[in-house]
Structure 1
Amino acid sequence: MHSDNLFAEDELLFSGEEADESTVNALEPWMVLIVDDEPDVHSMTKMVLGDFAFEDRPLEFVSAHSGKESLEILKSDPSFAVVLLDVVMETNTAGLDVARRIRNELNNQFIRIILRTGQPGFAPEHQVITELDINDYWQKAELTSRRLTTSMTTALRSYRDLRKIELNRESLAQMAKSVAHQIRNRTMTINGFTNLASRKLGPHSEASEYLETISHETARLEDIVNSVSEFAAIDRCDHCSADIKEVGEKAIELCRGMANELGKNVHFDIDIVAQNIDSRPDLLSKVVFELVSNAIVFADEEQPRVSVKVTVKGDVCMLVVSDNGKCISSEDLPYIFDPFFTTRPEAVGMGLSIVNRIASGYNWDIDVSCSDEGGAVFTLQIPL
């Protein structure tokens, strides 16, 4: 591949007004990673995009000459806005492998990926667009300077919008924590004065029933606040290593105690293989606890049974939690992961929302179906 095939000769010159250089240089640049094993491609890309600016911010380029090198750079610095990614490098599908690992292993959903290839036969466009989370796909022979700048503008606009959405989400999470803190302080005060009034008036007072109701509703409000706080606290699904067997068994022990509190003599069928997965141990524990406790609650009242199985098939670890109660109705199914949705008046309805939040943060797939016994089956697929 030669550099003169990369861009049409008549499109290397840009028209229009030039940006004020002092303004552009004063703003933080957009980080762009060029990944290609051809040095000429790096030089030509920098030449064409050297004067490019989006929202008065210039581009800053970093070069990688292999898929492996690009992943090392992205692991150490996740602030890149765009990656211009060659398909054929150390292997015929190196670029495709990098694109998958950016989304699934590095868990970077913000960076915009523009694939470029000089050998489209190794990566048919329809297949790539369908199977990979990329933002643009070009054959190098067809990629003129105008198309490259247009593609870069679209990618940066998309990256900017995603970052704004994430910042808004973080702001809302912080506000939720602050509101929860304020409400918790008030509920503690209300509950304290309620207990004080109850002791002064005595158990046979006419107001004792009302005071008991106030205390009960205050406790429910505290449960809601705690659940919202837990949900808001899931700010980052960091990459760690957790043994699903060790973490899962500890979480199940907590669930056994919960079952005893509910007065349900649950028969547990536990079969968990040892497997390290990419997850914070506390978040993985929360997922297992919420799924198993949900199964306990909805298991059959007379002979409750809960099954927890973990298997590994290829590059996927599967966690399956099921019960022998009634399956989720088709009317309720679309809403079970929504915050505060519950079919139990005494429940808060945040457990499965927390599970879904963590699963989304790690790009795990979660599916719900009915077992042969009629109960609900939650299947979590965790990429290894």
Structure 2
Amino acid sequence: MSLSNRPRVLVVDDNAAFLDNLQELLGDAGYQVYGASSCREARERAREGFDVALVDLRLPDGEGTALARELKEKVPESEVVLLTGFATLETAVSAVRAGACAYLMKPCAPNELLLTLEQAMRQVRLQEEKRELARRAQVTEKLAAVGTMTAGLSHEIRNPLNAAALQLSVLERRIRRLAEEQQPHLLDPLLLVRDEIRRLDHILEDFLQFARPREFRPESVEVKLLLRRVVDLLGGQAESRRVRLMLEGDGGESMPPVMGEEERLRQVLINLAINALEATPAEGLVRVAASREGDMALIIVDDSGSGVPMEIRDRLFEPFFTTKAQGSGLGLSIVHAIVTQHGGSLEVGSSPEGGARFFLRLPLAR
């Protein structure tokens, strides 16, 4: 198990020898352990996050019960176990009131401590599962709302948009017949409105495509040709942004084809590449590469932008979740749905270039 996946335990005790013993015992048991010898130090450590806190009842700068209550407020999804060498009925009641899930006498047997910790971790995992179920229920409700709106959107919005676009086109042709000195102050607002209509049309298309996914009809798709078309298509956009867009290596030339729909896979890669271009500052780099990974094709899109913060990576493919000021928040959700339909996977990580790295895996044709 990697360090980042190990359960995190915060041990708060002013007895240095006891603290060292607990850190060694819990570390050997597979926990990631942080130590603190005072309330002040515990508050600082708590900012890093934790799953379970073991808190001594008596600390040099405060009471453990007050600290337990404070830690629960700061990290509600965590659990707290209070430790004491002076157990009384009053301290046990105080522990319960402070929100502690267990109360242990010091010195406690290693087996008893590990069992109590595992029970606390079960509570943490249960709360996490409840939050995940609630999140999925929210997503399901959003999808149901999209489905309900779709039929009306198709006619009630697209028809007026098409009519407005047609009239703007007629107006543009009439303006261009005028003298050149009269055109700019008339064309500028017209072109702005036209671009906004196009943006609305793209948002509407996202809604329709997400709510009504097409039937899947896979065929053999050459990775090399797919990537080359995407890079060529976006070359002008990259140049206008002064970003270098490159296809690394042989671009999948030595790789067997994948099974899928070329048009939809192209849509996936265009979306990922455009996001990378938009996130990359001038003179930056967006790199596309392909390699074989067992029976899968691995396509990587790197950029030298600011990257995707860890705290939002889990939500990146949720419907309607977006960090952009404009847009439907459906682009990456649609991409993820297409990849899943192809039997593949899509993940986000950190790029060696300092920005984001998207890992796209697709099954090879057999």
TM-score in terms of structure 2 length: 0.49
TM-score in terms of structure 1 length: 0.47
